[in-house]
Amino acid sequence: MWRALCGFVAAVGGRGAVRSHASRLPAGSLLGQEARADSPAGRKRSTTAMPEVNTDNLDEQQVQLLAEMCILIDENDKKIGADTKKNCHLNENIDKGLLHRAFSVFLFNTEDKLLLQQRSDAKITFPDCFTNTCCSHPLSTPLELEENNAHGVRRAAQRRLRAELGIPLEQVTPEEISYLTRIHYKARSDGIWGEHEIDYILFVRKNVTLNPDPNEIKSYCYVTQEELKQLLEKASKNEIKITPWFKLIAETFLFKWWDNLHNLNRFVDHEKIHRM
């Protein structure tokens, strides 16, 4: 589907780079018991019961990532503990209010084109959907828990830009990642898995080297504003699939920010959490 999508970009005059990758076939789970990192002294631990979910039909690499420890927060983004990525993304727990910290990176090249990705078929939530450059979670580790100027979240973004897109660490440093604001949203991927996050919105404007992991990214493409508007129109007609957070951000904020890439300071708001 993404090849057809990027063909559509080319048809409307896009000259952005387009690359496609073959996804790995789903494999059996190698994950046994959930790995739990020790909490810092005095930090609360999640007491959420682990629902029994069969992961045998899911991709091996993605299942292993379910053991990562996400940062649990309250609705004001205050840390209240840690729990596995698996627990944080089960609708059964989300329906009980489980909420975690996340981020969304929007990376532009020096021609002011936005890098989009299509999530691989192996992804557990929202597979095969296209979305912004990189979306993931800071982990409950000392480096990524640091809250001063969102240093922990920006370090996590640097880590995931390398893991997903193969961008060398030295090409995008935390200091080159701009933190604009936060959004709070909830969305179901299917009957089992979903998202419930306070999402830090991060911007980068830089030319980078790309070498994506096909287990994470099926394909990628740089787009202009006009090309993205036409892609969003196709998504509204169910001709392509798009992640819910990217849809919310694109419809609400993105083009205003995009128009002001060289003057983003006026949009920085670290106090408000946009409820969406």
- How deeply is 201 buried, as exposed, middle or buried, from its count of CB atoms within 10 A (0-12, 13-18, 19+)? buried
Backbone angles phi, psi at 195, to 5 degrees: -130, 140
Residue 197 appears among annotated catalytic residues: yes
Tell me which of 68, 144, 164, 197 is the catalytic residue. 197
Task: Give the span between the Cα atoms of 58 and 71, in whole angstroms.
Answer: 24
- pTM of the model as a whole: 0.83
* Distance from the Cα of residue 119 to its chain's centroid: 10
Q: What is the structure's pLDDT at 53?
A: 79
Tell me which of 70, 134, 135, 221 is the catalytic residue. 135
Task: Give the span between the Cα atoms of 179 and 104, in whole angstroms.
Answer: 10
- Three-state SS for 187? strand
- Of 229, 226, 80, 249, give the one whose Cα is nearest residue 180: 249
Buried b (16+ CB within 10 A) or exposed e, 52-64: eeebeebbbebbe
Radius of gyration of the chain (CA): 18
Q: What is the structure's pLDDT at 128?
A: 95
Mean pLDDT per 10-residue segment, the chain (276 residues)? 46 44 30 31 40 78 90 98 97 97 98 97 94 98 97 98 98 98 97 97 98 96 97 94 96 97 95 97
205 has which bridge partners?
Answer: 108
Task: Give the span between the Cα atoms of 135 and 215, in whole angstroms.
Answer: 15
